[in-house]
Amino acid sequence: MNNRKGRITIPTDESYVEGTKKIAELWGADAVRDCDGVKLPKNPKEIADKVYNVYFVDRGNHEWAKNNPDEWQHMFVMTPFITATESTVSVHLMDTFFDQQVKPDFSEEAVKHMEVMDRTTGQVWNEWEVDAENGNVIIKNAVPFHQYTVAFLMISLWHPVHMYNYITNNWDEPYHIMYDPYYPKTRKFIRENLQRWCDANPESNVVRFTTFLYMFTLVYNQFGKERNVDWFGYNMAVSPRMLDDFEKEYGYKMRAEYLVDQGYYNQTHRIPTKEYKDWMQFIQNFVTETVKELVEITHKNGKEAMMFLGDCWIGAEIFGVRYKELGLDALVGSVGGGVTVRMLSDVEGVRYKEGRFLPYFFPDTFFDGNEDNAVAEINNNWITARRAMMRNPLDRIGFGGYLELAAKFPKFINRVADICDEFRYIYDTVKTQTPKNFAKVAVLNAWGKVRSWMCNMTAHELWYQQSYSYQGIYEALSGLPVEVSFINFDDVKNGRLDEFDVVLNAGDAGTAWSGGEFWADEEIVTAVRKFVYNGGGFIGVGEPTALQRNGKFFQLSDVLGVDKECGISLGEDKHNLTAHAGHFIMDGIESNVDYGEDKKNIFALPEANVIDIVFSERFKRNYSVGEVKMATNEYGKGRSFYITGLPYSAQNAKLLYRAILWTAGKEDMDKKSYCTNPLTEAHFYGDRYAITNNTSEKQTTTFYDMNGVAQELILKPYEIKWLKD
């Protein structure tokens, strides 16, 4: 029997102490947390060893905010493109912004960072002046029918998460204004304020920082609706003084354009520029030094410091080089599936990592008659997360909301109790045994390690039509028996490819994910070719290595065996139009493959092996092109696999695993710790196997052990069958 206690966090409040105790006992909870709108009981340690309290570093103290308006936070923004129809153009800066969130900073130190661009020529436009009274910038001697933009500093008036919650929940309380610790007065204040808070909250032994200093990019428009969002964006981590200091330290001016980036705001999908990476590092340095002090204060007060992954996490890059310097005890984040588990569990430099599971115990789920749906929701959340847990588990799991609501659903309470036990058993197994990995996979993009498990993400956990066909790759990888690393093009240049069996490049042309201009670098293409030629594997999804240059669109079309017809090579006949059945990769893939958003106009080079090709239904004449969906290629001793898209599904996860084995030249690893039914998966831990049923239905599968010996297994819904080796 495994440990029945620990690793679980539950919410509670002062009006539900006895109920909390019972559920804590049943679930083995050892931590309680507060929740919006409720207070912790007076003696929370009677219920649990750990007591979490939310703490805001630079918002929430209205008095400080009110008394120090010169130290409020800023953001750098850009107007829309404005077409000049006359030679004088008056631009009202607030036209597309929300006046409750921001106001332009017309101070001298802010205006000197303003920048007007002629977007038709791409040049800076120097003829303009500020009309602060009317909130305008007046562009002079404009060229008719050129477009202009103004980039400028705004003062933040309202923390956007507070704003969102306030508006959504009809709160009635003062707006949370963000004061900026980059100013020494506020920096001193936040230290003292934390000490005061520690003094005032002796019952809390875990300070749950929500979060540190700067919010990710979240800007609203004139109608109070979201205008720009980037969970990774640094545009709200900026101030006139930072800009001045940056220039002193880095020896060049951080131009407005480097931050507003033509209106793309350096969002994470953009290939990062040198200037933006410098800015990120500049902010990280400041955040590291400042948060370090806060963590020290926390520790001096005998408390643990826990970071919430979200909100004001900018500058505390969890996969960044300075992360461990923060000295944090814990990291907590919400869990939507395998990717979000690994985004937490793979972090180094904190002692423990906790995932907050769904559903929240809120009335939108926990209302009369909805118990079965609540159970289904926790099952679904747990099962998708569990795949990743089997490879690298979180140290703790937790819940949020009002426990009293959940307590009305006994089926739910009992199901969570089972999950807590299962989690602890998985944890003990994976942490004491070594999960067997069958290949080492490197995901190659412009970001590399710093965006581990964060590829193709815009707003955290939100679904985007343009992203899911790539995010499926990472969701699949999060639960596969392979070692996953995230590398960038510098890593390629630094000779790191040889550490891996397979390199994966996935994304749309011109994005950070496929890499864009990096594929013009001969050192990079040469290194990847050499790696594959000498026996490495290469997997491309969507528009890998894409860059229109030197007669190709996929710069490594020779490695991939495919390229894209972009309408400029129609006169080149495509003859490789026959799909070949029976490939190793397709063994056990019985349904049609789901390519998600897919890519059109992919064709195979003569030497490639086409696995799937689609012909237009409109085909009218004896002249056929066909669009390749999957192909493999042999390249020296190495191999490649191409697919147009890979949204997450059980079958696509199996397909990707088989593609990894095949491109790695590891066909001999097939049918080792392996299930034939894609809805089930096997994991080997040295002394035992786990065979998981990832569905709510009974499943039958053939299971192969490490010796390739097969047996038929029947698995109950959600079951993990543990078998001794």
Q: Does 167 engage in binding with its own copies (CB under 8 A)?
A: no
Query: For its own copies, which residue of 510, 535, 588, 665 counts as binding (CB under 8 A)?
Result: 510
Whether 480 and 511 have beta carbons less than 8 Å apart is answered as no
Query: For its own copies, which residue of 37, 63, 85, 668 counts as binding (CB under 8 A)?
Result: 85
Q: Residues near 22 by Cβ (< 8 Å), separated by ≥ 6? A: none
Taking the complex as a whole, the smallest distance from the CB of residue 525 to its own copies amounts, in Å, to 6
Q: Does 131 engage in binding with its own copies (CB under 8 A)?
A: no
Q: How far is CA 5 from the centre of its chain?
A: 31
- In the chain, the amino acid numbered 592 is N
Q: Does 224 engage in binding with its own copies (CB under 8 A)?
A: no
Q: Does 275 engage in binding with its own copies (CB under 8 A)?
A: no
Write each residue from 539 to 578 as x if it is in contact with its own copies (CB under 8 A), else as -, in one continuous string: ---------xxxxx-----x------xxxxxxxxx-x---
Stretch of 161-169, 525-533, 577-585, 666-674 lying at the interface with its own copies (CB under 8 A): 525-533
Size of the site for its own copies (CB under 8 A): 81
Q: Does 141 engage in binding with its own copies (CB under 8 A)?
A: no
Site for its own copies in 608-627 (CB under 8 A): 616, 618-621, 623, 625, 627
Taking the complex as a whole, the smallest distance from the CB of residue 607 to its own copies amounts, in Å, to 10
Q: Does 522 engage in binding with its own copies (CB under 8 A)?
A: yes
Q: Is 35 exposed, middle or buried (0-12, 13-18, 19+ CB in 10 A)?
A: buried
Could you give the angle at the alpha carbon of 186 between the alpha carbons of 180 and 191, nearest 5°? 115
Q: Does 274 engage in binding with its own copies (CB under 8 A)?
A: no
Q: Does 69 engage in binding with its own copies (CB under 8 A)?
A: no
Write each residue from 675 to 714 as x if it is in contact with its own copies (CB under 8 A), else as -, in one continuous string: ----------------------------------------
Q: Does 465 engage in binding with its own copies (CB under 8 A)?
A: yes
Q: How far apart are CA 225 and CA 608, in angstroms?
A: 49
Site for its own copies in 467-486 (CB under 8 A): 467-468
Instruction: Indicate the residue among 369 and 567 with the shorter CB distance to its own copies.
Output: 567
- In the chain, the amino acid numbered 583 is H
DSSP-based three-state secondary structure for 163: helix
φ and ψ at residue 127, rounded to 5 degrees:
-95, 95
Q: Residues near 92 by Cβ (< 8 Å), separated by ≥ 6? A: 134, 135, 136
DSSP-based three-state secondary structure for 691: strand
Query: For its own copies, which residue of 587, 597, 670, 705 counts as binding (CB under 8 A)?
Result: 597
Q: Does 185 engage in binding with its own copies (CB under 8 A)?
A: no
Taking the complex as a whole, the smallest distance from the CB of residue 318 to its own copies amounts, in Å, to 20
Stretch of 36-44, 172-180, 307-315, 595-603 lying at the interface with its own copies (CB under 8 A): 595-603
Site for its own copies in 647-676 (CB under 8 A): 647
Q: Which of 689, 691, 636, 695 has the alpha carbon at shortest distance from 665?
A: 636
Q: How far apart are CA 124 and CA 256, in angstroms?
A: 11
Q: Does 535 engage in binding with its own copies (CB under 8 A)?
A: no
Give the other-Cβ count within 10 Å of 588's Cβ. 17
Distances in Å between the alpha carbon of 246 and those of 257, 264, 281, 671? 15, 22, 10, 56
Active site residues: 311
Site for its own copies in 295-314 (CB under 8 A): none
Token pair recorded at residue 706: 């490490």
Whether 11 and 40 have beta carbons less than 8 Å apart is answered as no
Could you give the angle at the alpha carbon of 718 between the alpha carbons of 713 and 720, nearest 5°? 55
Q: How far apart are CA 476 and CA 471, in angstroms?
A: 9
Q: Does 169 engage in binding with its own copies (CB under 8 A)?
A: no
Query: For its own copies, which residue of 6, 17, 49, 81 counts as binding (CB under 8 A)?
Result: 81
Q: Does 269 engage in binding with its own copies (CB under 8 A)?
A: yes
